[in-house]
Amino acid sequence: MEKKAKIKIAITIASLAAISILFTRQQRRRRKLNQCSQYSCYLQSEPKPQHNFKRVLADNSYSPFKHANKEKSSGSHPYELEITALLENPRPEFDFSNVDLDLQRSDSFVWVETKSQLNELANALSKEFFFAVDTEQHSLRSFLGFTALIQISTEKEDYLVDTIALHDEISILQPFFADPGVCKVFHGSDNDVMWLQRDFHIYVVNLFDTAKACEVLSKPQKSLAYLLETYCGVATNKFLQREDWRQRPLPAEMLQYAQTDAHYLLYIAKCLVAELKQQGNENSYCPDDKFNFVLEASRRSNTVCLQVYTKEIESYPGEAAASSIFFRLLNGQGGVSSISSVTQDLVRRLCAWRDLMARVHDESLRFVLSDQAIIALANKAPANPTDVYTTIAQADSDVDCLNLSSSLPSPSPVVCSHLDDVERQVCNNVENLDDILLANLQKCLGPNGSCPLSVFNYVLPAKSNWELKNQSNKFVYKQNGVKVSRQVAKKASRDLFVQKFSCKSPVYHNCRIYANDGRLLCYCDRKKLEWYLTRDLAKLVEDNPPAIMLLFEPKGRPEDEGNEFYIQSKKNICVSCGEGNHYLRYRIIPSCYRIHFPEQLKSHRSHDIVLLCVDCHEVAHAAAEKYKKQISAEFGIPLFIHKVADSRKAEARPGFSASITNFEAGVSPLQLRTAAMALLHHGPTMPSNRREELRRIVMRYYGGREISQEDLERALLVGMSPRERRRHAKKRGLSLKMSKPTDFPDRQQDSYPAVMVESATMDATKADNVLGLHAIETQKSGEKEGRSSLTESHESKPPTCSNGGIDQLVFSTIWKKMNSTSKVSDSKDDSVGNVDDECENSSVQNGFGSSSPTPNSKVSLLGHGPHGKQVVDYLLREYGEDGIRQFCQRWRQVFVEALHPHFLPAGWDVMHRIINFPVASLNVSSPA
Ligand code: AMP
Ligand code: ZN
Ligand code: MN
């Protein structure tokens, strides 16, 4: 009995203990989970040594590695010529026989961690004809790995170079490594040669690799440990190789290990060369052959030098890892098709996510998420963050039991900081993977992103090649022939578009204007400089790029005192992605609104005109069109004019009075135009019922009366601004000029009195397309005529300020002065604003504050012009100019959200010229 009771108690205690252990474990997990769910990246509080690097040659972006440029280098290896010369004609003189080497390793070495110490090392190396090299790497907490230490040994000294502290300075050692007259001794140099290229653009020319010599000599082993043992009687602990070489100070044991790795190499090389010569002598009949073994070792060594470092480029992020996981899941049996497609998809998603996260955080893949965790997640598809967390922890601890060495935190801090994203990958397999990855990238590195930007990841959002690639090439692995050909077609049309519409010459000339006291007023284009110079208002003070100094005291200074934006040279690149080969001007505030702004608010437009590449332009334009619809709904102001009717009374002709009553009056301008166009071009050949349908549309405009050929021609012009008409006339050539002038009512008469604005229900897609093209056409022709916003000039008008804020101050003075003396070309059509036109001019008329929906006769009814005017009128009436400023801010916000631009000029700001306006007041309520 007593025994039984004792056992019972023991069991109870044991189970209580077990429960409490389980409980505390769970508690700990839960606590960790809570930490996890905080929306902040672990890197915010965990600095990594590589974060102090100012510059890296191999960043974590998906773009290829750029090698050093060297004159006369033909291939990708900058020293190809020098190395091939060595291969063809090795230097037999390299000979270590008279090297005086101290086999005894002294305990002293030179620790190199400052710039001056590095200079001393460089100075020492400049006296050497050979030196030995080894490097230590760190790869766990870095995506591509980095060199943590370089060991250099000469006959006299061992140097340990702290390549973390000196990361940005090491390049001063380049010449010694590239000098064919200096022999570098490595052991097993394949990796070191690449690492030195990757981190420092150090290229090794003239190498003697002791491992290659072992090969030539057919040694039983070729490890360094073996050589050290055999030639030097030194034992090493190669486990230290895997230690964390980022530690500072390095423990004595590691320092000694590192020193040893390079110290004996010269001596070993000397022994091996002697053996190679010996072999040559023994194995040859002809004494001239006696260097062959040495030469062979040299050739094999220098072949290594020819290798070039490349980043692994996959056609989709994580693709290679996914394939290897499939292979492992199968244990080498069966085809991939035997894994369920759901599992396959999850593995791919997780591998892609892991790849992206490793790049963002500069961590190795295995640190972010283990392969076994990916397999577990793909099999289980956990439904909530807690489940994700435990699945990963379980998978890793299962493997840990088998392999006690692994001590990585599981789940990793990366997973913990972004747990919800892992869950999204696993749960949401409907969403396009590209979209999720991009969203993740934005969440991490976008404005207000959760993770710190670094030299490793800042290029990532701008140059996500897979994203560009996948815009036309979604899911490479699902690709089929049809898709490919479509891609090709799409690419061709895009190329054509780029060729046709992008700016041919730099938009920003970066000319400068100085005030007469020498202060920089602004940057501008050449035209503007010329304008001042030809009028003797300024003198040229510098050329290339030219700068002028004004000869008069400007009435005011830039009101942007302290705003960098106007006083900086601007780059001719896409402000979003940095593309420099093609770009278009993009107006952040759509012209349909801007053109109606009061003059004083229009003067600073250069802030809101940016350069975008064709791809980013498309994205921004689409976002703007979408937002216009939102504005339209919010303000209750339709985007399009719904109906127009002929201004002239429908001429009551005998016999037609009856039919007129059956026609409702008015038709949308776009519909009218399309119908008239079709009838003019294809009328006789189209099916009669279609022709009748179109005729009735045109008749509706004319109030139901019968229509003639001339009516059709006139209908083509309905709703066009004068500018559009001129262009139209130009296109149609003389045929139009010869027709009766009365068919082209002048502006005054033709002011669309019968416009009825109804609702915003008109099908906008068609119109959008038409307008999209039209907008570009206008822009292009504007450029040709030298009237585009950034190079604007008018014969006798001062060019409106393109970049600077001084215009309104400086120009108004001169302008008035000039006007008083010379006659200004009056407001001919040229100077009249147009919906899609950038030409913003003071002669754009009137009517602000008027609530009448009467459209501006100079504004096209085919576009969003009337909508723009009504919105602006409303804002001015209700909120005054502040309303306009806030409206501009909303558009900048739309732009930033659409693109997350990375190359906006300094000083560019969503809040530009908005002072004291709380963001909360942004949402202007719609008119009652
Ligand atoms: P070593 O050439 O032996 O000095 O090795 C140079 C670097 O290569 C080390 O600092 C390690 O980062 C890496 N390395 C070499 N072998 C291994 C290994 N078996 N496991 C992990 N890392 C290694
Ligand atoms: Zn993060
Ligand atoms: Mn080593």
211-228 per-position pLDDT tens digit = 999 999 999 999 999 999
> For residue 855, is the peptide bond before it cis, meaning its omega torsion is within 30 degrees of 0?
no
Average pLDDT over residues 846-875: 64
Q: What is the pTM of this model?
A: 0.53
Tell me, what amino acid is at 877? Answer: R
Q: Is residue 243 lining ligand 1, measured as CB closer than 6 Å? A: no
Gap between the Cα atoms of 324 and 825, Å rounded:
74
Q: Is residue 245 lining ligand 1, measured as CB closer than 6 Å? A: yes
Q: Smallest Cα–Cα separation from 698: which of 655, 645, 750? A: 645
Gap between the Cα atoms of 512 and 545, Å rounded:
8
Asked if the model's pLDDT at residue 348 lies above 60, the reply is yes
Average pLDDT over residues 785-813: 33
pLDDT for 721 equals 74
- Range in 46-50, 151-155, 579-583, 689-693 with the lowest mean pLDDT: 579-583
User: What does the CA dihedral 419, 423, 426, 429 come to, rounded to 10 degrees?
Assistant: -130
Q: Is residue 423 lining ligand 1, measured as CB closer than 6 Å? A: no
Asked if the model's pLDDT at residue 827 lies above 50, the reply is no
- Range in 428-442, 714-728, 789-803 with the lowest mean pLDDT: 789-803
Residue 78 in contact with residue 85, Cβ under 8 Å? no
Residue 609 in contact with residue 791, Cβ under 8 Å? no
What DSSP letter does each residue of 851-904 carry, written as one string?
A: ---PPPTTS-SSSSHHHHHHHHHHHHHHHHHHHHHHHHHHHHHHHHHHH--S-P
pLDDT for 114 equals 97
What does DSSP assign to residue 231? I
> For residue 452, is the peptide bond before it cis, meaning its omega torsion is within 30 degrees of 0?
no
Residue 59 in contact with residue 462, Cβ under 8 Å? no
Residue 586, strand partner residues: 610
Average pLDDT over residues 830-851: 32
Greater model confidence, 773 or 168: 168
Sign, CA dihedral 620-622-625-630, equals negative
- Range in 217-226, 433-442, 495-504, 604-613 with the lowest mean pLDDT: 495-504
Asked if the model's pLDDT at residue 421 lies above 90, the reply is no
Q: Is residue 82 lining ligand 1, measured as CB closer than 6 Å? A: no
- Range in 312-326, 503-517, 598-612, 878-892 with the lowest mean pLDDT: 503-517
For residue 456, report the distance from its CA to the centre of ligand 1, in Å: 23
pLDDT for 610 equals 86
> For residue 249, is the peptide bond before it cis, meaning its omega torsion is within 30 degrees of 0?
yes
> What tens digit of pLDDT does each residue of 166-191 get?
999 999 999 999 999 999 999 999 99
- Range in 183-187, 198-202, 782-786 with the lowest mean pLDDT: 782-786
Greater model confidence, 787 or 675: 675
Asked if the model's pLDDT at residue 837 lies above 50, the reply is no
Q: Smallest Cα–Cα separation from 853: which of 927, 745, 749? A: 927
* Residues 6+ away with beta carbon under 8 Å from 551: 516, 536, 537, 538, 539
pLDDT for 800 equals 38
Q: Is residue 242 lining ligand 1, measured as CB closer than 6 Å? A: yes
For residue 209, report the distance from its CA to the centre of ligand 3, in Å: 14
pLDDT for 389 equals 94
Q: Is residue 603 lining ligand 1, measured as CB closer than 6 Å? A: no
For residue 241, report the distance from its CA to the centre of ligand 1, in Å: 5
User: What does the CA dihedral 272, 276, 282, 285 come to, rounded to 10 degrees?
Assistant: -170
Q: How far is CA 202 from CA 311, 428, 624, in A?
A: 16, 46, 48
Beta-carbon neighbour count of residue 641 at 10 Å?
27
Average pLDDT, the chain: 74
Average pLDDT over residues 233-260: 92
pLDDT for 428 equals 67
> What tens digit of pLDDT does each residue of 422-454 get?
888 887 666 788 888 888 888 898 877 888 888
Distance of CA 367 to the CA centre of its chain: 26
Residue 827 in contact with residue 843, Cβ under 8 Å? yes
Query: What's the chain's length in residues?
Result: 928
Q: What share of the chain is helix, strand, coil (3-state, %, to 5)?
A: 50, 5, 45
Asked if the model's pLDDT at residue 564 lies above 50, the reply is yes
Gap between the Cα atoms of 850 and 14, Å rounded:
87
Residue 452 in contact with residue 43, Cβ under 8 Å? yes
Of all protein residues, whose CA lies closest to atom 12 belonging to ligand 1?
Answer: 137
Beta-carbon neighbour count of residue 646 at 10 Å?
23
Q: How far is CA 732 from CA 85, 356, 772, 777, in A?
A: 67, 54, 21, 16
Greater model confidence, 409 or 22: 409
Report which bound ligand comes closest to the CA of 137.
1
For residue 360, report the distance from its CA to the centre of ligand 1, in Å: 25
pLDDT for 855 equals 44
Average pLDDT over residues 596-625: 82
Asked if the model's pLDDT at residue 579 lies above 50, the reply is yes
Q: Smallest Cα–Cα separation from 210: which of 252, 142, 271? A: 271
State the closest ligand 1 atom to the C-alpha of 245, by its place in the atom list counted from 1: 10
Residue 794 in contact with residue 526, Cβ under 8 Å? no
Of all protein residues, whose CA lies closest to atom 18 belonging to ligand 1?
Answer: 242
Q: Can you tell me whether residue 833 is helix, strand or coil? A: coil
* Residues 6+ away with beta carbon under 8 Å from 191: 137
pLDDT for 664 equals 62
Tell me the percentage of the chain whose pLDDT exceeds 90. Answer: 29
